[in-house]
Amino acid sequence: MFMKVKNICCIGAGYVGGPTMTVIADKCPHIKVNVVDINQNRIDLWNSKDLNFLPIFEPGLDQIVKRCRGKNLFFSTEIEKHIALADMVFISVNTPTKKKGIGAGQASDLKWVEICARQVSKYAVGHTIVIEKSTLPVRTAEVIKTILESQDIQNKKQKTFDVLSNPEFLAEGTAVNDLISPDRVLIGGESDSAIKSLKDIYQNWVPENKILQTNIWSSELAKLTANAFLAQRISSINSIGALCESTGADVREVARAIGTDTRIGSKFLDSGPGFGGSCFKKDILNLVYLSNYFGLPEVANFWEGVVRFNKWHQHRISKLVVKKLFGTVSEKKVAILGFSFKANTNDTRESAAIQICRDLLAEGAELLIHDPKVIEKQIELDLGEQAINNHKNINESDSKVIKSGWEKCDKIDQCFKNVDAALILTEWKEYSEINWELASKSMRHPAWVFDARSIVNPEDVRNANLNLWRVGDGS
């Protein structure tokens, strides 16, 4: 039977749960939305009076939170209470790659998903629609459903559940716009009434022809496939960029030429330092694991090659910096412009900057790091002991260098004093507006600008008596 949803609970107040529930609350003022999380500090930040302190930076998000918070949007740690009140529960928790055990390094760790399923089974009242919102491996819904049903038998309570898959297709930096004007909303499931209940929510602002219905397995696999295809496209253009540098071609001209082909299109054809973010690498490795599990090693090898190339490309950039600086960066200063994995987000997960900075620090460089949204503590976490322990090639002596070999710059112009090079790793707008003539006066010559994002004006850099390298430029 179709259920008109009046109360939603979302477990997980991270990069997916927070923005998604904020937009749902904004577009559905008749629905009460409770976002719950075990992390008290994160919840406190969501409830902060100063909207500059929200735990997630996304353009436009702060204003929607301001409109809805305290009206029909609430953030708390009261998980049990809000599960019991909810007609619909979204599971939007982290699914990191397993670090040990079967499938380590490839398979997703579903620990938090399982914990959520058990919480929902225990505390739900009446009929509850459970929505997979996290990026999950194929057939996870079956696991969730099994847990819900088995717990119900044990508790002997009158509870019923429907499980749907509703993967997110958000790009960080444009997440709010992606939610307000999505290319598609995908709903996978077997229950027509449950699908109709979720569809009824989205139809408050999404045209019906953009709401796609599939079986639950296709929905789960579609999310992994979408991220894998996008990552593969980035690796593909970066491979051509490396070839351009060796042949005298320009990857921007190649991209423009092939992008006019309607079969290919122009999106995701910008050569850069490699893909990052929380999903691309994780989801591809998940595909690799699933392919091997189902006896398809050739499929696994194909997708694993995308990840291998991305890592090679990041090392290639750091090696190139060393080569251009006369073969050594020991005790040389390098300005790192951008630490988040892309512009308009403070997310550093799998950022190319982390690997490139590690390489340069291991070579003895001193780094001056600037990013308008990433705080110093986050950089310290990414480059500190935790990062070192995950980086097998760094020895104990290198670790000491990494702990003391960098500092955070709050202002861009602070980064250029006595540096031998500036390396642009994130496409923040302010980096395209740098006065290179002024910056050049502070740098130690001969000095370099390494533009891994193709955002500077080459003529401005060269006129400032600076050497220039641009990714994919063979000229």
pLDDT at 94: 79
**Cα separation, 266 vs 264, whole angstroms:** 7
pLDDT higher than 90, residue 298: yes
Grade residue 136 by pLDDT with cuts at 50, 70 and 90.
low
pLDDT higher than 70, residue 193: yes
Q: Which position among 116, 279, 409, 415 bears the catalytic label? A: 279
Which DSSP state fits 331? Answer: T
How many percent of the chain have pLDDT more than 90?
77
**Cα separation, 258 vs 277, whole angstroms:** 26
Average pLDDT, the chain: 91
CB neighbours of 371 closer than 8 A, spacing ≥ 6? 338, 339, 340, 379, 426, 428
Selected residue with higher pLDDT from 111 and 12: 12
How many percent of the chain have pLDDT more than 70?
92
Contact call for residues 269 and 233 (beta carbons, < 8 A): yes
The pair of structure tokens assigned to 28 is 């559905």
Distances (CA, A) of 383 to 61, 162, 394: 28, 43, 12
Is 279 catalytic? The answer is: yes
What is this structure's pTM? 0.82
Q: Which 3 state secondary structure label does DSSP give 88?
A: strand
Selected residue with higher pLDDT from 57 and 111: 57
**Cα separation, 386 vs 394, whole angstroms:** 12
When mean pLDDT is compared across 229-233, 236-240, 279-283, 388-392, the lowest value belongs to: 388-392
pLDDT at 162: 93
pLDDT higher than 80, residue 108: no
Per-residue pLDDT of 48-78, as tens digits, reads 999 988 999 999 999 999 999 999 999 999 9
Grade residue 156 by pLDDT with cuts at 50, 70 and 90.
low
**Cα separation, 177 vs 361, whole angstroms:** 37
**Cα separation, 109 vs 94, whole angstroms:** 9
Question: How large is the average pLDDT for residues 419-424?
Answer: 98
| AA letter at 371 | D
